[in-house]
Structure 1
Amino acid sequence: MRQVCLETQPVRLNNIFCIGRNYVDHIAELKNETPTEPVVFMKPNNSLLQSGAAIVLPHFSQSVHYECELVLLIGQDAEGFGDGDNPLDIIAGYGVGLDLTARDVQGRLKEKGLPWTKAKGFRGAACVSDFVAAQKLTQPQACGFTLHINGELRQHGHTDHMIYPLAAVLQELAASYGLRTGDVVFTGTPAGVGELHSGDRLSLDLAGLVQAEFAVA
């Protein structure tokens, strides 16, 4: 059974949802088209890697990229939202994580029109911090997160730059797939993605509230 940690309490992991192409500057750096609705993909639960663990680069890729993201932990089931509902109310906690991507594999799969699962779902491809209780992040749609590698700032994202804000992301996921307690949602990465290399040391931070550390084997 896979678990994540909310404050000091273990929470059983359910699904791992990911939102792609949610920051204009990241779309530009990869020369992708701007989506007309949230781009949703999933990672298998076996891809979960918690802070402090070693990232093992997959043997089938020569170009694994980091993508630092705000991550949501869902605390209530939801099939949809009414006019008076605030979708953010179902968030139990916020964290920071890495959506690791085998970019060379993804490129080959996209050229053939095939799914991205091998590029996005390998073991250790969903790196997450512990989660801080939702009420502690008072402005989730106006907060910053960072990734440093070997002490150098590589990504600095601001959630107010999202194309699809958190409420819209949750509305889409709830309506199309249903959300359950223990679901985790990666919400998209800003510009600055790049390759990981053996020996790299990664430090992630969300608004000074929660951090994560990873080392590449």
Structure 2
Amino acid sequence: MTNKVEMTKEMTAKITEVLDAKDAVVEHLEQVTQESGEINRQMNELQADVKAKTEAMAVIADIGELKLAKQEITALEEDMELLASVREVKYKVGLSELENKAEAFFKIHGTATSLFTTVDNYFLAHTSLSEFQESKKTMQDFASTLHFSFIEVKQLVIDEGLCEVENNGNLVKFKGVSLRNRNLSTELEVFENQCKLRKFVYESYHADKLSFMTL
């Protein structure tokens, strides 16, 4: 990387990787949830059939029909047990894959964060006044995307119980690694705020000095 254009392109490409990895986590979780929901729907239908057949047995007077109804109820209950087992296995497998996708996301996010720091420092050293606001906006957009994608995936793995949460949620560990919030900000914004503060201090000092001289 030798200039701001090339750096911006590389950072943009890395941001795309981060978003793709985040989407992979979100979409996989949606798939797992949908599959579990479909099995739950099937189980509810079977439960309704069991209830209807059980109620119908109360008015059956023929022993042969009663035996048949009981066999049907038993078969339905066995199907429900099998579906429950399938749901549990599919959910465990789904969470295992979710964990892998989340791990991939956090690794990509880590490299993106490192690249952000490199690009940000370069921008700070090589941005003219005419380019300042545009460059600051570019870096702010990068920082915002990195921040909110991190928060989204972090919350998903917490909700699914894939993280260790301690100190009332202040400390979150994923596979033994702390997931502290990565609150990124561009050095261009820091520099701008420092300039504003210096200007304020300078103007305040001279205003006080002028006021003293006129007394």
Calculate the TM-score normalised by the size of structure 1.
0.22
Kindly indicate which of the two structures has a greater share of residues assigned to strand: 1
Structure showing the higher helix proportion among its residues: 2
Higher relative contact order (CA 8 A, sep 6+): 1
**Based on CA coordinates, which of the two structures has the bigger radius of gyration?**
2
